[in-house]
């Protein structure tokens, strides 16, 4: 794994690094937004080795809404190391619109399913 400029993939699931990143991803139920009846899900990253995090943060894929290159793995605001998460669309300071679309919701649901599948597969071994 090297931190060279990664090729632009249509989606993180299509990126050659997905297989290496999948074990570090987890789905978190976040009921502050939708309550207990309809909670939102966040896709967070488990702690990963510094080199893996460096590569993860350098990955680029197409935004699910506008197709512009963006980084799907990002650090939480104010974090310098460690607490990373998945985003389906452009950062909010680039475009608020991209993250508020049906494409974004669909992409996020697809990732939640993929991460949950990866979590089940990891538990089998």
Supply the range of the domain harboring residue 32.
12-124
The answer, yes or no, to whether residue 112 has pLDDT greater than 90, is: yes
The answer to whether residue 101 is domain-embedded is: yes
Provide the pLDDT for residue 3.
Answer: 45
pLDDT at res. 41: 83
Sort strands 69-70 and 61-62 into parallel, antiparallel or unpaired: antiparallel
Query: What is the mean predicted confidence (pLDDT) over 39-51?
Result: 88
User: Does 2 map to a domain?
Assistant: no
- Answer yes or no: is 1 within a domain: no
Enumerate the H helices of 1-125 as residue ranges: 18-21, 31-34, 50-58, 102-124
* Nearest by Cα to 85 from 125, 38, 124, 42: 42
What is the rounded CA–CA span in Å between residue 56 and residue 53?
5
Please indicate whether residue 83 or residue 63 has the higher confidence score (pLDDT).
63
Q: Is the pLDDT of residue 23 over 90?
A: yes
Q: How confident is the model at residue 83 (pLDDT cuts 50, 70, 90)?
A: confident
Mean pLDDT of 109-120: 92
Task: Quote the number of domains for the chain.
Answer: 1
Residue 47 included in any domain: yes
Mean pLDDT of the chain: 84
Beta pairing, strands 40-45 & 61-62: unpaired
**Half-sphere exposure of residue 39, counting CA atoms within 13 Å on the CB side?**
9
**Does 23 fall in a domain?**
yes
Share of the chain above pLDDT 90, in %: 61
What are the residues whose beta carbons fall under 8 Å from the beta carbon of 29, sequence distance 6 or more?
39, 41
Token reading at 120: 């089940």
């Amino acid at each position: 794994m090297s931190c060279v400029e990664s090729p632009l993939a249509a989606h993180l699931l299509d990126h050659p690094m997905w297989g290496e990143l999948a074990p570090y991803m987890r789905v978190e139920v976040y009921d502050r937004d939708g309550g207990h009846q309809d909670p939102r899900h966040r896709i967070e990253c488990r702690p990963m080795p510094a080199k893996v995090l460096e590569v993860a943060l350098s990955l680029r894929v197409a935004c699910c809404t506008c197709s512009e290159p963006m980084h799907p793995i990002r650090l939480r605001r104010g974090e310098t190391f460690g607490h990373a998460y998945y985003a389906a669309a452009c950062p909010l300071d680039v475009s608020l619109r991209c993250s508020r679309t049906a494409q974004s919701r669909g992409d996020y649901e697809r990732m939640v399913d993929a991460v949950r599948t990866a979590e089940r597969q990891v538990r089998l071994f």
